[in-house]
Chain A
Amino acid sequence: MAISGVLRPGYVQLRVLDMEAALVHYRDRIGLDVVQTDDEGLVYLKAYDEFDHHSIVLREAPEAGIDFMAFKVASEEALDEFARRLRGAGCTVEEIAPDDKRHLGRRIAFTAPTGHRFELFATIGRADLGPMVDNPELWHTEPRAMRVQRFDHCLLYGDDIDGAIDLFSKLLGFSLTERVVAPDGTVIAAFLSCGMKAHDIALVRHDEKGKLHHVSFLLESWNDVGHAADIMSRYNMSIDIGPTRHGITRGQTIYFFDPSGNRNEVFAGGYTFYPDHPVRTWSTDEVGKAIFYYERALNDRFMTVVT
């Protein structure tokens, strides 16, 4: 199967209260590499197994949370087509000029019905220390800290998730892979894929707009989930829950918080999705197992704490 249209999550910009503390977290504990600090003080980072220039951008601000999430699309033509479709559906689409300083080509930006800002781009610079391509070794130097391979997805909380599910599936070509449905038919959580992963973005119904539940990074193995947990305890990092496993997506996971209270996940595994697969549905009476397959019970903090 050739993936066309939206390829994958590209980058996410997060607000942090204290940049120095954030860098200790994202660079020294999670193991991302700092690739650039710009004139405005924004810090750009990437994981060792990513080709693109950056995947995480940190901005110091008085309030934690997410500024925007961006997806990479297959071509400039695909970008034009998405702008046309979004405008056709009544979305306001902002055109952002190429920005050499940020190593980014032109982008389009829009606000989803959940209040979150998204960007789409086709062109981004290649990282100096991306994965090797000629007689490729596993890495240039052995991965540090939690050894995350790449930025994987975000789970976002917002009010009109029905509108956002429609936007991602009908206009941007995502597939709904999995959902949680209340007895009255209300969808309370939705997992959407733009490729062959179990999810590239997830949405949960919530009364406020524009909230961040977590930013997730991929690990190579269940052993690495344990290694990440060892690092969290060694450095007294704030753990939410885990190591455990999700029924939804089947990922093996641990959740924790950055020094500004933004939730992170590191995980391994999860099923392969093909676009002919049926949607998997969980009812709310089994939602404990859906979220935490081993505990089989929800943790109130996991469900309600967002930034």
Chain B
Amino acid sequence: MVARYIIEIEDCGRRFPCPEDEGVLQAMERQGWQAIPVGCRNGGCGRCLIRVICGAFRTGLMSRRHVSEGQGAQGLALACRLYPQSDLTVRLATPHDRAATENENARGA
């Protein structure tokens, strides 16, 4: 039996269930909601960048251009590669979140 958790998007209050083995973005889209911007759905483009405010999760492979290892540890993730392990509260990435990744990439380059 696959566990299902509730995802809450803080920006708009939207709540929807997500199985533990499905990406948060994919579960959102499948249920017809548009709360998180949808890009490639495969961890490459960075469009669905969000921050997990609370809850347990795991992530799949994400392009390092959009989420560095350090930021991943701080709860930044691409929703298409975010798999819940408890109920989650998330919010959309801010320009500040995106700028932090760019700065980190620039330092690493």
Q: Do A and B assemble together?
A: yes
Beta-carbon contacts under 8 Å, A258-289 to B: 258-263
A301 touches B39 (CB 8 A): yes
A305 touches B39 (CB 8 A): yes
B63 neighbours in A (Cβ, 8 Å): 17, 62-65, 260-261, 307
B42 touches A301 (CB 8 A): no
- Top-5 shortest CB links A-B: A261-B44, A261-B40, A64-B44, A238-B41, A62-B64
A257 touches B42 (CB 8 A): yes
A306 touches B45 (CB 8 A): yes
Q: Map CB proximity to A onto B16-55 as digits: 1 under 8 Å, 0 otherwise.
A: 0000000000000000000000111111110100000000
Rounded to whole Å, the gap between the CB of A41 and the closest CB of chain B is 16
For the complex, what is the distance from the CA of A98 to the CA of B70, rounded to whole Å? 41
Most chain B beta carbons < 10 A, residue from A63, A64, A260, A305: A64
For the complex, what is the distance from the CA of A64 to the CA of B47, rounded to whole Å? 14
Q: Map CB proximity to B onto A241-262 as digits: 1 under 8 Å, 0 otherwise.
A: 0000000000000000111111
Rounded to whole Å, the gap between the CB of B67 and the closest CB of chain A is 10
Residue from A260, A263, A301 within 8 A of B47 (CB atoms)? A301
In the assembled complex, B99 has its CB within 8 A of some CB on chain A: no
A63 touches B65 (CB 8 A): yes
For the complex, what is the distance from the CA of A261 to the CA of B47, rounded to whole Å? 11
In the assembled complex, A18 has its CB within 8 A of some CB on chain B: yes
Contacts A17-B63, A64-B43 known; 16 new A-B pairs at CB < 8 A = A17-B43, A62-B63, A63-B63, A63-B64, A64-B44, A64-B63, A257-B42, A260-B44, A260-B63, A261-B41, A261-B42, A261-B44, A261-B63, A301-B39, A305-B39, A307-B44
B43 touches A260 (CB 8 A): yes
For the complex, what is the distance from the CA of A70 to the CA of B41, rounded to whole Å? 28
Given contacts A261-B45, A301-B47, contact A307 B64 (CB under 8 A): no
In the assembled complex, B61 has its CB within 8 A of some CB on chain A: yes
Q: List A residues at the B interface (Cβ < 8 Å).
A: 17-18, 62-65, 238, 240, 257-263, 301, 304-307
A304 neighbours in B (Cβ, 8 Å): 47
Rounded to whole Å, the gap between the CB of A42 and the closest CB of chain B is 18
For the complex, what is the distance from the CA of A63 to the CA of B78, rounded to whole Å? 13
Rounded to whole Å, the gap between the CB of B102 and the closest CB of chain A is 10
For the complex, what is the distance from the CA of A219 to the CA of B43, rounded to whole Å? 27
10 pairs of residues in contact across A and B, judged by CB atoms under 8 Å: A17-B63, A64-B44, A257-B40, A257-B41, A257-B44, A260-B42, A260-B44, A261-B40, A263-B40, A307-B63
Residue from A62, A259, A307 within 8 A of B45 (CB atoms)? A307
For the complex, what is the distance from the CA of A65 to the CA of B105, rounded to whole Å? 15
B41 neighbours in A (Cβ, 8 Å): 238, 257, 261
For the complex, what is the distance from the CA of A17 to the CA of B44, rounded to whole Å? 8
For the complex, what is the distance from the CA of A18 to the CA of B44, rounded to whole Å? 11
B40 touches A305 (CB 8 A): yes
For the complex, what is the distance from the CA of A306 to the CA of B63, rounded to whole Å? 12
B61 touches A18 (CB 8 A): yes
For the complex, what is the distance from the CA of A263 to the CA of B41, rounded to whole Å? 11
**Nearest CB in chain A to that of B69: its residue:** A62
For the complex, what is the distance from the CA of A77 to the CA of B55, rounded to whole Å? 63
A258 neighbours in B (Cβ, 8 Å): 42
A17 neighbours in B (Cβ, 8 Å): 43-44, 61-63
For the complex, what is the distance from the CA of A191 to the CA of B38, rounded to whole Å? 27
A257 neighbours in B (Cβ, 8 Å): 40-42, 44
Rounded to whole Å, the gap between the CB of B14 and the closest CB of chain A is 20
A301 touches B44 (CB 8 A): no
